[in-house]
Amino acid sequence: MFSYNLLSKTSFNINSGLIDAIFSEINDIVPKSQLGTLNIILMSDEEIKKLNSDYRGINKVTDVLSFHYYDDFKNLRDEEIAGEIVMNEKLIYLQGEEFQHGAEKEFYKLLIHSVLHILGYDHETDSDYKVMKDLEDKIWKII
């Protein structure tokens, strides 16, 4: 199971036990090795826009970016950085309001989505979208 480092302070509450439960659920559901550590970082609009432009060629603000540093995590030690999740704190608040579940739940929703991306899932085709969405929905039930 991945471990994590939350490298940014947030202005909303983060329940580390719930993050652990999410990671455990993903570990149980997804049949891929999940060793190593994920860094979770919150950024401003400007910072994430620059990363989105630099790494994806999209010069727009986004809610979350996921970076994986390995294609296979089975040989990593716990302290090795397997990937990073970069979130836009402002959009976490705005989307939490829009979807009427608040910033904290939006954070967890984006976390689930990002970890699945790190594990190789995407939503580029309709069938890939369905697979990823079904996994997200299963994991979301624990929240």
Where do the domains of the chain lie, and which CATH numbers do they carry?
Answer: 3-140 (3.40.390.30)
- Model pLDDT for residues 122-138, shown as the tens digit of each residue: 999 999 999 999 999 99
- Model pLDDT for residues 1-49, shown as the tens digit of each residue: 899 999 988 888 899 999 999 999 999 999 888 999 999 999 999 999 9
Q: Which residues of 78-116 are buried (b: 16+ CB within 10 A; e: fewer)?
A: eeeebbbbbbbbbbbbebbeeeeeebbbbbbbbbbbbbb
This prediction has a pTM of 0.93
